[in-house]
Structure 1
Amino acid sequence: MALNEKELEALEPDHIVDGIGEVCPHTLNIALEGLKKAKPGETVMEVTDHSIATKTIPAAVKMRKNAEHLGTVNSGSEYKIYLKKL
């Protein structure tokens, strides 16, 4: 269920994790830790400035089948990656 940018920005994530200044694989580990704390159906948003994370995090959660990537918003130098725990 991919959401458009406007729908993503309107979401109020249940958990926000900070990946600013981190690079892979740390950005993925931060997202996975956030998902561990979340309950099924809750959303986790990771804020990062590492563009590669916008590819690795969605791919990893799809492979692990522990979350759904709802979408990513690019706001200049930062990215907001939205995940919904399964």
Structure 2
Amino acid sequence: MGMTQEELEVLEPDHVIDAIGEVCPHTLNMALAGLKKAKIGEVVMEVTDHSIATKTIPAAMKMNKYGEVLGIISKKGEYKIYLKKN
């Protein structure tokens, strides 16, 4: 994860995925579908309230090289997971 929270807060994602109320593995599948639609270099942000997604999505990125995790912002039970397509 390469960006600070301040940098992430001003970053304008190219794609936003609303995964509020969804649980794994659906949160991961939604992130992967978002990356599939994105062009190389574009940023996909998934918003979720499922804390486990903050572990499964980065693990999938590391294992399968679908994209790079730029960082995660956590506020009031919501998580914004920033991914960059490779």
TM-score of Structure 1 vs Structure 2, range by shorter chain:
over 0.9
Give TM-score scaled by structure 1 length. Answer: 0.97
* Alignment match, 1:68: 68
1:40-59 equivalent positions in 2, closer than 5 A: 40-59=40-59
State the distance in 2 between where 1:64 and 1:3 align: 21
The alignment covers a number of residue pairs equal to 86
State the distance in 2 between where 1:54 and 1:2 align: 15
Amino acid at match of 1:36: K
Give TM-score scaled by structure 2 length. Answer: 0.97
SS in structure 2 opposite 1:22?
coil
Amino-acid identity (%):
71
**Structure 1: 4+ residue segments shifted above 6 A:** none
Which runs of 5 or more residues in structure 1 are unaligned?
Answer: none
* Alignment match, 1:10: 10
Which runs of 5 or more residues in structure 2 are unaligned?
Answer: none
